Every structure is written in structure tokens, then in C-alpha cells.
Amino acid sequence: MSESSLRVVWVYPDLLSTYGDRGNALVVERRARQRNIAVTRIDVRSDQAVPTSGDIYLIGGGEDRPQRLAAERLRQDSGLTRASENGAIIFSVCAGYQILGHEFINDLGEREPGLGLLDVWSTRGEGARNVGDVLADVDPRLGLPQLTGFENHQGITHLGQGVSPLATVSVGGGNGTGDGTEGAWRDTVFGTYLHGPVMARNPAVADMLIKLALDVGALPPVDTTWYDALRAERIAASRQPA
């Protein structure tokens, strides 16, 4: 597959890179290069324009004020929206997930417009934060194994008719709505509350994004020994009584 190439865009690492989410970019790169797929990674800071020619766009989590600043700049820039309109793959985590929706509550306690790339909207819970390990069964249409990750948020994300839940939780809070949903997806746009980073715990997610970007049904197998050990350890720990 050496004739293939990928452009991976890591969006606003200066604002949205909490809880090790940069690891998602590293895992996508690694999983592609293990298969001799050439990768160009572009780290786009918040004072730079988001290119529209990327194949995979990754957005991480962040604190409340950086999230508001990121949303403001992404609305002004419009590069990510145009990339989505061109069919790019977008994978977002926590604050990034909320930004892809219609609106969220910002650090000023006000409703902040999102990009509207996912039919979701987020409010802020009044109770305890959702903090801890998560286990979730993925929408069967995506063909992924059980997800393991770590959540730390007080957001409640409501799903509209234009999206499907990414997964259903067996451990953890997920979207915080009490209906067992975790994350959301539509076509090639994905959102989740799971850190970890989620792709280090779930390399099949990175592989799915690569397959979508290359428009292939399968990838050559590669070694997963390290990932399997991490997954097994975290899944076992998540199932232990608190």
C-alpha cells in the first residue's frame, strides 16, 4: 500500500489537547506507517488557517475557556466545515465533540454556537462530573470491538435525529443523558467523550479512520501486542467494583 498517502490534521493542539489526546494523532500515524502508508501530519495552531485538503482531522479535549476560543476561531475560519463538506473524516473528543454540535455552554455560562457538523447540542449537568473508566459497545454498523476509555466531563450531550450514538455504555456515563448513549456519528464525522487516549486503547478506531480515508474495506494485519495488553488491563480494571 506504499502508493497510498494520508494527510492527518491535528486541530488546535495549543487549545485542545487535554488528557493526552495528542496520542490519537500519534496512533493514526503509527498504524498507517506500519502498513507502509505515507503520512503527512499537519499540526494547526489556533492562529493558523485549517487546511481543507486533509483526509483525517483530529480534535481533542480542552478546558472551558480554550474550548470557547477554539469554537470562535473555527467558526471564523470555516476550514474544518469546508473539509467536512468535501467528505473528510473528522474524529473529535470531549470539548472537540461539543464544538462539532450546534451549541454548548461556555466558561461564561452562556450558550456558545458550535459548527453544526453533528446534530447534537450540549448542556451542563448540575450533579457530579462523569469521571472514570468507560466500557461501551459500538454501533454494530461500524464493526469495532468494545471501546475502553476515560471520561472527565460535566457535559450532557443530547442527540438529534441526524446522528446515531457511537456506542452504548456498560460502564460509565457517556453522553450523560441517562439513556446509555456514548458519543455520536454521522457518515464520516465522529464524536466521543473518551480520552485515554482513546486510540491507544482502541487501535481499531484508528484503523477505521484510515480505511475510510483510503476507501478500502480492509488493511493488512499488523502487530497489536502492546495495544492488546493495554486493552485487557483497562477492561479488567473497569469491571472491578468501585
pLDDT (tens digit, 9 = 90+) per residue, 101-128?
A: 999 999 999 999 999 999 999 999 888 8
Q: Report the phi/psi class of residue 36: left, alpha or beta, with left for phi > 0 and alpha for psi in -120 to 50.
A: left
**Which contacts qualify for 218-224: CB closer than 8 Å, 24 or more apart?**
219/1, 219/35, 220/1, 220/35, 222/31, 222/34, 222/35, 223/34
Strand ranges across the sheet with 5-11: 38-44, 5-11, 56-59, 89-93, 189-192, 184-186
Angle, vertex CA 8, rays to CA 151 and CA 223, nearest 5: 70
Residue 94 is a catalytic residue: yes
Average pLDDT across the chain, whole number: 95
Catalytic-labelled residue, pool 102, 153, 158, 195: 195
Residue 153 is a catalytic residue: no
CATH number of the structural domain spanning residue 206:
3.40.50.880
pLDDT at 36: 95
pTM of the model: 0.96
Burial 30-60 (b: 16+ CB within 10 A, else e): bbbeebebebebbebebeeebbbebbbbbbb
How many distinct structural domains can be found in the chain?
1
**What does the pLDDT look like over 173-216, one tens digit per residue?**
999 999 999 999 999 999 999 999 999 999 999 999 999 999 99
Domain range for residue 110? 5-238
Q: Are strands 189-192 and 89-93 parallel, antiparallel or unpaired?
A: parallel
Helix residue spans in the chain (DSSP H): 22-33, 64-77, 79-85, 95-100, 198-201, 203-214, 225-238
**17 confidence band (pLDDT: 50, 70, 90):** confident
Q: Are strands 5-11 and 56-59 parallel, antiparallel or unpaired?
A: parallel
**56 confidence band (pLDDT: 50, 70, 90):** very high
pLDDT at 92: 98
